[in-house]
Chains A and B, each alone.
Chain A
């Protein structure tokens, strides 16, 4: 193949798309639809993730320190370092019982007066460690490790909530994955049919190409290119539509849910991932779909 053939390939592919305009258009639309569904699932899941990220960051383990242990700054520091060394721990905060007490009173507001008489020496609270976890998958292992430390009397964690969050996240990943697989197969089928049609309408040309000694690669190329062009066209259009769907449908819908409204992810920050997802679908489906349909016509 030489440079002179490039013009032939491109012309040939566009001619093929034009001749089969209806089918080409149909496959572009189907591909756009598939991309939009995948894209919408992705954008929704990013928003749920961003909301869950907030929830996750609020999840902490509160470990109460046995009163036997010293309260001087050196032992505080040593204790914090010891906890930090546990894998999965993001940050540790040492909270004295006095701080905890005043926080508690503040949280009671007007009813804070009930706590009168428990201040100072009579403070029933204990010094505590507030431990934040980087990834909630590691929540239970950190929780176990901390509870086994001799300095720790007991602890309070929100394992139930964490488990719920974990299962939501896993379900979402799985649903996303299967939607992707399913729609990729649908798109593959559609593209390969379009190319099959294109090849069928040009089977005489292909036959002549074979007889005058064109290599299979040469014959295949314009059709693969056609598939890729359909993929690229669909990717561009799908991105535009996706932006409309997100701004005018998804965001207003998500904002209705009050708990989600302050964690909405801006479209721009997901644009690159979307381009990558759509582009990969478009290119792979376009190339593989057409390559699949060609084999039959290359015999003889």
Chain B
């Protein structure tokens, strides 16, 4: 469960990125977060991951109360969230399977578990045949799926995808969305952050719309994009 209760975020330079945001996402939900550039979408992710601290309000993420979270617990908070970054952030010097295994290794998994789990997850994202390739040898869509496999591999309660369809053509965008829906069906909470209005329209899912750091609508189905202006 992810809960934001009247959350404000003021950056030190005076920007008010979030101005009193409240929403609740139950376990197993699928949610789009949309809004124009600068609306505060990425800021929400930064707060979830405790990359930044919120200025006021209350945040709870997968049983971690961020208002009271000690620094030593941050790694464990992050293990409960898998993030697919817009720029993928793969390690160029590692193969696909090494990239995915790396995420397991650095939280202390043993080699036996890693050897069993990595091929399975690569299978889920449809990249089993590319496991020995390096990121440079893959298309944008394939790299994105590696990033998704890495986000999935530690079995997080929540998956967050930041602009997952930003760099790929419409057919691939559909594919990646369908993959995320499959993952959601297996019980993982999924948050998708996007500009892509068509994409949102295609799926009948909950949509939280942001503008100027405020929620301007939170609806499931029949969402009017025009509200964003």
CB of B91 within 8 A of CB of A212, answer no
CB of A213 within 8 A of CB of B107, answer yes
Q: Mark A198-234, 1 if CB is under 8 A from B, else 0.
A: 0000001101111111111011000000000000000
| A82 to B103 alpha-carbon distance, docked (Å) | 79
CB of B107 within 8 A of CB of A3, answer no
A114 within 8 A of B: no
Tell me whether A5 and B75 are in contact in the complex, defined as CB-CB below 8 angstroms, given that A212-B103, A212-B154 are known contacts.
no
Residues from chain A with Cβ under 8 Å of B91 in the complex:
204-205, 208
| A216 to B51 alpha-carbon distance, docked (Å) | 14
Tell me whether A212 and B78 are in contact in the complex, defined as CB-CB below 8 angstroms, given that A4-B109, A7-B111, A219-B106 are known contacts.
yes
> Which chain B residue shows the least CB distance to A219?
B106
> Which chain B residue shows the least CB distance to A215?
B75
| A212 to B105 alpha-carbon distance, docked (Å) | 10
| A134 to B201 alpha-carbon distance, docked (Å) | 96
**Count of chain A residues near B, Cβ 8 A:** 22
| A204 to B76 alpha-carbon distance, docked (Å) | 20
B157 within 8 A of A: no
Q: Mark A99-137, 1 if CB is under 8 A from B, else 0.
A: 000000000000000000000000000000000000000
| Interchain pairs with CB closer than 8 A, number | 55
Residues from chain B with Cβ under 8 Å of A213 in the complex:
75-79, 107, 154
By secondary structure, the A interface counts as helix
CB contacts under 8 Å to A, within B194-212, are: none
Q: How far is the CB of A217 from chain B (nearest CB, A)?
A: 9
> Which chain B residue shows the least CB distance to A204?
B91
| A4 to B111 alpha-carbon distance, docked (Å) | 6
CB contacts under 8 Å to A, within B64-115, are: 72, 75-79, 83, 89, 91, 102-103, 105-112
B49 within 8 A of A: yes
A164 within 8 A of B: no
Q: How far is the CB of A47 from chain B (nearest CB, A)?
A: 52
Tell me whether A3 and B110 are in contact in the complex, defined as CB-CB below 8 angstroms, given that A8-B105, A211-B78 are known contacts.
yes
B9 within 8 A of A: no
Residues from chain A with Cβ under 8 Å of B83 in the complex:
211
Residues from chain A with Cβ under 8 Å of B106 in the complex:
209, 212, 214, 218-219
Q: How far is the CB of A141 from chain B (nearest CB, A)?
A: 57
B150 within 8 A of A: yes
Interchain Cβ contacts under 8 Å between A and B, 20 examples: A1-B108, A2-B108, A2-B110, A4-B110, A5-B105, A7-B111, A205-B91, A207-B89, A208-B89, A208-B103, A209-B106, A210-B78, A211-B49, A213-B77, A213-B79, A214-B75, A214-B106, A214-B107, A218-B106, A218-B108
Query: 7 closest A-B pairs (Cβ-Cβ)?
Result: A4-B110, A213-B79, A213-B78, A214-B106, A212-B103, A213-B75, A215-B75
